[in-house]
C-alpha cells in the first residue's frame, strides 16, 4: 500500500503541478507540501477534504487504501453512455453512482450536469423540467467553485449559461456570460493561429464551423423592426450555412436548418405568400428526411474541403425524430390560411409517411 505522501506526489505530478502551485491552491507554503511528499509530516485532517476536492479522488485513493482506477472508470462510463442504445435514465444512474464514489471529481460532475439537461422533457410538468435545469446549474456552479481546469471551466460556463437562459433567469445568465473570456482569446482560436502546431488545420476548420453556425444563430436571435426584415435576416442565415456546408451535407447542423426553414415557412405564410411557405416547408421536410436517414455512428464530412477532418456522432444529445418535430410545427396558427387547402393536406400526409428513426431502445415521444 502506498503512503499518503507518495500519493500526493503522484497526483500532483499527474496534473503537471509544481509543489509551489499545489501549495498556492491550498493556501499553504511549498515547504509544507515538500514535507508531506518526503514523509517528514502528514497533512492535517483539515486538509483531507481540500486535497480530495483538488485532485478529484476519494479519500481511499488519497490514503492508498484503494488503487486509483478512477480514470478507467470515467472512460468506461463515457463509452457506455455514448452508445446510442444507452438511455438518458441509464446514463443518469451511471454518473450518479460514480459521483457518489468520487464526489469531488469535476469531470464526473460535468457529465452528471449534462444528463440532467437531457432528462428535461417538454412532456413533463414545467416544474419537473425546470428542476432538471436548476440541478444542472447547481452542479456547474460547484465545478466553477473548485476547478482550475481552464477547458472544463469554459465548457461549464457555456452550459451553465444555457441552464439559466432556459430557466428565464436573466440575471444569472448575464453573470455567467460575463465569466467567459473574450471570444478572440478562445482556446480554439489560439490553437488555430499557432505556427507549426500539427492540429492547426483541424482547429481552423472547427472555428470556421462554429463561426458559421454562430453567425446564423446571431441573425435568428435578433429583434427585427418588421416581418420583411426578419425574413431577410433568416434568409441571410441560410446563405451563411450554405457557404459553410457547401457540399449539401447537413449532418450535425440539420436541426438549425429545420429551425430556419420552418420559421421562414411561417413568416411567408403570415405574409400571405403560399408559394414561398410551401417552398420552405418542402426544404424542411427534405432536411428532416436526411437527418432521420443518417445512420447512427460516426459521420465524416468527406466532400467538404473546409471540414474534412470533423466527425459527428449521432448520439442521444441530438437524436430526435425530425418527422414528428416538423408535424408539431405544422400545427402553428401561422399556417391558418393554407391549412384547409388540398396542397397542405397532401404535404402533411407526405410528412407522415416519412419513416423517422427506429430507435434501438424503443419508442420515443417527441
Specify the pLDDT at position 195: 80
Specify the pLDDT at position 318: 43
Specify the pLDDT at position 164: 92
Whole-model pTM? 0.61
DSSP character string of 147-192: ---HHHHHHHHHHHHHHHHHHT-HHHHHHHHTTSPPGGG-HHHHHH
Tell me the C-alpha distance between 19 and 9, whole Å: 9
Please give the domain boundaries of the chain with CATH numbers for all domains.
4-62 (1.10.260.40), 70-181 (1.25.40.10), 188-352 (no CATH)
The cell for 216 is 446564423
Question: If you search the block for the grid coordinates 447542423, which residue do you land on?
Answer: 253
State the greatest distance between any 2 C-alpha atoms of the chain, in Å, as a whole number.
87
Residue ranges in the chain whose pLDDT is less than 70: 1, 65-69, 122, 182-186, 296-297, 310-321, 356-366
Cβ burial of 145 (10 Å; 0-12, 13-18, 19+) is exposed
Specify the pLDDT at position 146: 80
Specify the pLDDT at position 281: 95
Q: Where are the alpha helices (DSSP H) in the chain?
A: 4-14, 19-26, 30-37, 48-55, 59-62, 70-81, 88-101, 106-119, 126-146, 150-167, 170-177, 187-192, 200-221, 227-244, 254-270, 274-293, 322-329, 342-352
The cell for 105 is 471529481
SS (H, E, C) 272-322: CCHHHHHHHHHHHHHHHHHHHHCCCCEEECCCCCCCCCCEEECCCCCCCCH
Tens digits of residue pLDDT in 124-142: 788 999 999 999 999 999 9
Amino acid at each position: 500500500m502506498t503512503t499518503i505522501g507518495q500519493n500526493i506526489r503522484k497526483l500532483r505530478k499527474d496534473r503537471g503541478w509544481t509543489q509551489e502551485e499545489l501549495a498556492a491552491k491550498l493556501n499553504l507554503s511549498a515547504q509544507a507540501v515538500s514535507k508531506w511528499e518526503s514523509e517528514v509530516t502528514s497533512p492535517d485532517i483539515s486538509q483531507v477534504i481540500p486535497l480530495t476536492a483538488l485532485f478529484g479522488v476519494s479519500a481511499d485513493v488519497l490514503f492508498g487504501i484503494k488503487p486509483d482506477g478512477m480514470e478507467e472508470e470515467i472512460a468506461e462510463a463515457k463509452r457506455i453512455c455514448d452508445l446510442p442504445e444507452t438511455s438518458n435514465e441509464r446514463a443518469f444512474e451511471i454518473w450518479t453512482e460514480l459521483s457518489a464514489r468520487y464526489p469531488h471529481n469535476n469531470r464526473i460532475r460535468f457529465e452528471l450536469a449534462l444528463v440532467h439537461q437531457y432528462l428535461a422533457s417538454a412532456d413533463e410538468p414545467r416544474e419537473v423540467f425546470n428542476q432538471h435545469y436548476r440541478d444542472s446549474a447547481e452542479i456547474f456552479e460547484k465545478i466553477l467553485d473548485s476547478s482550475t481546469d481552464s477547458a472544463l471551466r469554459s465548457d461549464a460556463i457555456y452550459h451553465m449559461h444555457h441552464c439559466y437562459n432556459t430557466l428565464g433567469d436573466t440575471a444569472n445568465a448575464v453573470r455567467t456570460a460575463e465569466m467567459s473570456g473574450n471570444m478572440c482569446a478562445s482556446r480554439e482560436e489560439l490553437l488555430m493561429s499557432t505556427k507549426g502546431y500539427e492540429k492547426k488545420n483541424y482547429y481552423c476548420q472547427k472555428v470556421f464551423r462554429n463561426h458559421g453556425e454562430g453567425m446564423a444563430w446571431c441573425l435568428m436571435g435578433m429583434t427585427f423592426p418588421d416581418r420583411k426584415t426578419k425574413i431577410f435576416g433568416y434568409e441571410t442565415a441560410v446563405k451563411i450555412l450554405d457557404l459553410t456546408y457547401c457540399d449539401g451535407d447537413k449532418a450535425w447542423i440539420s436541426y438549425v436548418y429545420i429551425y430556419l426553414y420552418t420559421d421562414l415557412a411561417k413568416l411567408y405564410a403570415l405574409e400571405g405568400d403560399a408559394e414561398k411557405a410551401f417552398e420552405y416547408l418542402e426544404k424542411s421536410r427534405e432536411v428532416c428526411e436526411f437527418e432521420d436517414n443518417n445512420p447512427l455512428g460516426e459521420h465524416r464530412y468527406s466532400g467538404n474541403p473546409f471540414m474534412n477532418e470533423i466527425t459527428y456522432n449521432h448520439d442521444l444529445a441530438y437524436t430526435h425524430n425530425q418527422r414528428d418535430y416538423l408535424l408539431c410545427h405544422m400545427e402553428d396558427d401561422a399556417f391558418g390560411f393554407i391549412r384547409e387547402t388540398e396542397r397542405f393536406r397532401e404535404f402533411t400526409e407526405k410528412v407522415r409517411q416519412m419513416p423517422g428513426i427506429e430507435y434501438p431502445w424503443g419508442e420515443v415521444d417527441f
